Structure 1
Amino acid sequence: MPPRSALVEAAYGSIRRGSKSFATASQLMGREVRERVWMLYAWCRACDDLADAQDHGGALGDQTGADGRLNEIRRLTALALAGREAGREAFDCLGVVAAECGIGAVHTGDVIAGFALDTNGWHPRTERDMLAYCYHVAGAVGVLMALVMGVDREDADTLNRASDLGIAFQLGNIARDIAEDHAAGRIYLPAQWLEEAGIAPEALMAAEHREALVAMVARLCAMAGRYEASARVGAARLPLRSQWSVLAAAGIYGAIARKVATKRARAWDARVTTSKPEKLGLLLRAGAQAAKARWLGIAPHPADVAPVPYGRGVLAGAVARV
């Protein structure tokens, strides 16, 4: 097994390459938590890249052999959780974090289930299906991040709110990447929404459907905002530095959904991002929020954001959320 310091260094390189926004937000954490977050990210990134045959979130590669790649993710993850050297730094990173934070197969299994959905060419039929997908590919990662930050495994409400933040991020990603995903044969908007708008899946990006698409994306971004608001309640229960980083990430990723909604029909002309000055402003704002946010701990979940037990397998968790 490589030394922990070498794994931390490799993980930091991965997060800097794969997510500049997350790398920036992680710098606000205490050293121990920050290193664990980097190592957990490295595992998530490696799984994603293996599943989609890509490199740090770049263009999708040849999707031939997707089942074999998914099985390789499962095999390497099982080795890491068993405390054995996996032979890939990112999976060895998971082994270290799992041993230090009590992460088990039920937690990693929920994340891997999300990759299985894409591997099987799955598309959401209902809004609940879409939220279930968001849970598996991002909400379950939020649960893992909360465990890494020291949230007790029995604190279901805070873990659910950590899941809410991941779901908010993924809803924003779906809104931003509709055109890119459609070109790759993937649609994450519910089929029922398309049917109600009279849009055939293959014609989703056609000019004549743009206003209907804008309306659906506005609905999506409003939903993301409600999940983000719920997550901010859980963030207020974290230690100050972790709280600051989570609020910063919420602000940075939440800004993407808000930009997509604001741009309306122009949202897919170019990939929506946040600039360095915008990130800095959001970091400073998050610091002010963290200094004042303890009162958020008394706020309830928004009425349309029902808690979900985590660790229930494909489409059995977040499917009950809304």
Structure 2
Amino acid sequence: MDAVVAHSEAAISKGSSSFSAASRLFGRELREDVWQLYAWCRHCDDEIDGQDGGGASRPLSAADRQARLDRLRRLTHAALAGEPMADPAFAAFARVARKHRMAEQWPLELLDGFAQDVEAPRLASQAETLAYCWGVAGTVGVMMATIMGAGGHAVLQRAQDLGLAFQLSNICRDVFEDAHNGRIYLPADQLEAEGVAATPAVLLDRANREAVFRVVVRQLALAETYYDSARVGLRALPFRAALAVAAARNIYREIGRRILRQGPSALSARMRVPKPVMAVLAVRGAGAAILSRFEQPDAAPPRPQLWSRL
């Protein structure tokens, strides 16, 4: 294992215990490609958020975030152009992009998604929340499917659906943490319908916790439709890739299910899935991967016009 791959493995181990565990089910070559793409995505996210491996954020001014975003865009264009990259995260991305002839659209739209984090976002509606999810996670689903050898309009849409589901789960897991950082990703119109103003201080007020939780429940119900849609796409992946993706799908889905079981108090701290439970969910994922080979595709969930380009 060379230094770039080793750096990428360390990035996924630190940044996502769920995806790191699931990635062990890939074959070695694909596993390393997945690690390298993840390392670049994680690096870009951390740069905008002032994080290290997805940990606690440190305060950054809007000007500092913008400067970081400009740098990420400049280096990403350079990596896509095949220029030598000193930063290991960009060296990893350059390798994967070149090897799999990745279209520029997806990584650049990922950075467009992160651009919404430069200033404290306020997403007015469900459509705007989903558009944000597309930018920061649906694009990742498409890129991951591409390096796994999947292609075609219908398959890539199922891959983006898994990214949407993952991000909706993340939003619900991190409601209070995001509010502490001045960010709100729940749809403002749904909060206001519950009598909650879409401001960080109001979200953090304990008196509003049950009302906020009702919006979280709706987001997790929507996530379920995308998790179901993504299951159909498993049949288009090589079998070991399907095993890994099914395991990741089950583990991330469990985050939302645990939030629902615990109720409003789940919003106080980041929900985590214990490692023994991850192992069980990975085994169940294997069953889903096998069954997907024999299932007929069902109707996809409604999607905003944004994804007609896929």
Under a length normalisation based on structure 1, what TM-score does the superposition of the two structures give? 0.91
Looking at structure 2, the residues matched to 97 and 311 of structure 1 have their Cα atoms a distance apart, in angstroms, of 22
For CA contacts below 8 A with separation 6 or more, give which structure has more relative contact order. Answer: 1
> Any residues of structure 2 matched to 1:30-109 within 5 Å, and which?
30-64=27-61, 65-109=64-108
On the 8 A contact 1:106/1:311 being kept in 2, the answer is no
**Aligned equivalents of 1:307, 1:169: Cα separation in 2:** 20
Deviates more, 1:262-271 or 1:179-188: 262-271
Match of 2:140 in 1: 141
String of CA shifts for 1:244-295, please: whole Å, max 9, x gaps.
Answer: 1111000000000111112111112332110011001001111122222213
Task: Work out whether residues 50 and 58 of structure 2, in 8 Å CA contact, stay in contact via their aligned partners in 1.
Answer: yes
Q: Is the contact made by 2:176 and 2:268 (CA closer than 8 Å) also made in structure 1? A: no
The answer to whether residue 195 in structure 2 is matched with residue 210 in structure 1 is no
User: What's the % identity of the aligned pairs?
Assistant: 41
Corresponding residue for 1:176?
Answer: 173
Partner of 1:267: 266
Contact 1:124/1:190 (8 A) holds in 2:
yes
Q: Secondary structure at the match of 2:307?
A: coil
The answer to whether the 8 Å contact 2:137/2:167 transfers is yes
In 1, Cα distance between equivalents of 2:3 and 2:95: 12
Residues 210-240 of structure 1 show CA distances to partners (whole Å, capped at 9, x for unaligned) of 2211211111111111110001101121111
Cα pair 1:227 1:305 within 8 Å, conserved: no
Deviation at 1:54, TM superposition (A): 1.5
Instruction: Give the superposition deviation at 1:311.
Output: 6.0
What aligned pairs does 1:1-322 form with structure 2 within 5 A after superposition? 5-64=2-61, 65-152=64-151, 155-200=152-197, 201=199, 202-302=201-301, 304-305=302-303, 309=307
Contact 2:195 2:211 in 1 (8 A): no
Cα distance in structure 2, aligned partners of 1:284 and 1:26: 13
* Pairwise CA distance, 1:306: 6.3
> Could you tell me how far 1:308 is from its partner in structure 2?
5.2
What amino acid maps onto 1:49 in structure 2?
Answer: D
Q: Distance in 2 between matches of 1:282 and 1:307?
A: 34
Structure 1 range deviating more: 14-23 or 241-250: 14-23
RMSD: 1.6
Task: Measure, in 1, the Cα distance between the counterparts of 2:308 and 2:101.
Answer: 15
Segments of 4+ in structure 1 off by > 4 A? 305-308
Q: CA separation of 1:83/1:63 partners in 2, compared to 1, >3 Å: closer, same or farther?
A: same
Structure 2: where are the runs of 5+ without partners?
none
Aligned equivalents of 1:95, 1:297: Cα separation in 2: 37
Aligned length: 306
Q: Does the 8 A contact of 1:107 with 1:311 survive in 2?
A: no
Unaligned runs of 5+ in 1: 313-322
